[in-house]
């Protein structure tokens, strides 16, 4: 009888270990099968009717690095920085590989400041762009030449729509 109990315990241990391994395997596989959340895109419409599909910089990493390490931006695309609060925010182009235009926008979606053709900065010290003359909540970065091409001006109201 003692041999049977030891054998039963061993079998139970093996089953428990197998169940744990199976659970770990299923969790690992599900991470690859479940679609990950894509980056939010906000479509920004300018008074001229031109739109920009802007990737939202909503994580600390994107707020820190922005468009760094990318080789370029397709026309009418960009990155929209959304800051936690209205303020005199400054940004830089460290590790950017192409020039950009920058548009600071306040909480009511009005343009308060613009910088055209900000050059990339390969290494420190990199210049800071801004602060705007008035508090801003957003900074939209687009390809260089966008401000001139779109005719955007200080005071223009922009419309934002989250693309689903």
Round to whole Å and give the CA distance between 73 and 59.
20
User: How confident is the model over 103-118, as pLDDT tens digits?
Assistant: 999 999 999 999 999 9
Query: Beta 51-57 vs 136-143: how paired, if at all?
Result: unpaired
User: How confident is the model over 44-95, as pLDDT tens digits?
Assistant: 999 999 999 999 998 888 888 899 999 999 999 999 999 989 999 999 999 9
Q: What is the pTM of this model?
A: 0.76
Given a cut of 70, is residue 8 above it in pLDDT? yes
Q: Determine contact, residues 94/64, Cβ cutoff 8 Å.
A: no
Round to whole Å and give the CA distance between 110 and 156.
5
Q: In sequence order, what are the beta bridge partners of 52?
A: 44
């Amino acid at each position: 009888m003692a041999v049977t109990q030891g054998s039963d315990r061993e079998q139970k241990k093996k089953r428990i270990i197998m169940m744990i391994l199976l659970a770990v395997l299923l969790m690992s596989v599900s991470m690859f099968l479940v679609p990950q959340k894509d980056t939010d895109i906000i479509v920004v419409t300018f008074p001229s009717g031109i739109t920009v599909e802007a990737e939202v910089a909503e994580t600390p990493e994107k707020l820190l690095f922005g468009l760094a390490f990318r080789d370029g931006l397709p026309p009418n695309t960009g990155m929209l920085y959304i800051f936690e609060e209205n303020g005199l925010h400054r940004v830089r182009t460290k590790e950017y590989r192409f020039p950009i235009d920058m548009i600071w926008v306040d909480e009511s979606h009005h343009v308060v400041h613009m910088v055209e053709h900000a050059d990339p900065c390969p290494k420190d010290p990199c210049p800071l762009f801004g602060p705007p003359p008035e508090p801003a909540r957003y900074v939209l970065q687009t390809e260089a030449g966008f401000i001139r091409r779109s005719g955007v001006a200080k005071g223009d109201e922009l419309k934002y729509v989250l693309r689903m």
